[in-house]
Amino acid sequence: MRVGKIIEARDFPEARKPAYRLKIDFGSEIGLKNSSAQLTRRYDKEDLIGRNIIAVVNFAPKHIANFVSEVLVLGVADADGGIILLTTENDAPLGSRVH
């Protein structure tokens, strides 16, 4: 699990369940990665830009519709099934391992 910063969030109408396409910066060691994330119930895509998140970066890429998701953004479900992102309380270096 590593720290990344969301630098782009776009609608993903081709996904079966409502989702965004994310571009996430994990720093110079890992670089930019794409992810599909079902965050539409709790987050507007504009509010995701610049957020630090926690993601699993060593899973095999997954094809979702016409998109390749390279990392798994982590979160927990609220009582209504919306996903709450796992984030860092303070800025952490991009690409930092979660211990």
**Tell me: the pLDDT tens digits for 51-84?**
999 999 999 999 998 999 999 999 999 999 899 9
In a domain, 95, yes or no: no
In a domain, 8, yes or no: yes
2-26, pLDDT tens digit by residue? 999 999 999 999 999 999 999 999 9
Predicted local distance difference test score (pLDDT) of residue 38: 95
b vs e for 24-48, b when ≥16 Cβ sit within 10 Å of the residue's Cβ? Answer: bbbeeebeebebbbbbbeebebeeb
**How far apart, in whole angstroms, are the C-alpha atoms of residue 20 and residue 80?**
19
In a domain, 92, yes or no: no
CATH of the domain at 43: 2.40.50.140
In a domain, 16, yes or no: yes
In a domain, 90, yes or no: no
What is the 3-state secondary structure of 42-56? Answer: CCCHHHHCCCEEEEE
Q: 4 - beta bridge partners? A: 53
Number of domains, the chain: 1
pTM: 0.94
Predicted local distance difference test score (pLDDT) of residue 11: 97
Residue numbers of the domain that contains 8: 2-85
3-state secondary structure of 88: coil
